[in-house]
Amino acid sequence: MKYINAKSVLPSHLLKELQEYVPGELVYVPGKAAVRAAWGEVNGTREKYAERNETIVYLYKNGSIVKEIAKKYHLSECCIRKIINGKRAMV
């Protein structure tokens, strides 16, 4: 985030209106919401957990018990059951 003088980027009528509300103060203008990435999209975390959860479901369907899977992935048995039942995408 960088400082920009409002006088150089805003139309004069908008600048005058802002001066009525915040004369001589700094104002933060947030970016558009659509620009923001969803959790885990940028650094690959979302994909990593999705792959892990697929593996957990695979292990369970192929005979592993919940207690063993929980120990292997350092998660609670309750968390493993939620992943298996599809009620929790990311942990």
pLDDT in tens for each of the 91 residues of the chain?
A: 678 888 899 999 999 999 999 988 888 887 777 667 778 888 889 899 999 999 999 999 999 999 999 999 999 999 999 999 987 655 5
Is 52 in contact with 46 (CB distance < 8 Å)?
no
Is 45 in contact with 39 (CB distance < 8 Å)?
yes
Nearest to 7 by CA among 51, 15, 26, 38: 15
pLDDT for 38 equals 79
Q: Is the pTM of this model over 0.75?
A: no
Q: In the numeric block, which tokens belong to residue 81?
A: 């059951």
Can you say how many angstroms the Cα of residue 83 is from the centroid of all Cα atoms in its chain?
Answer: 19
pLDDT for 34 equals 64
Distance CA 81, CA 73 (A): 13
Domain boundaries, the chain: 45-84
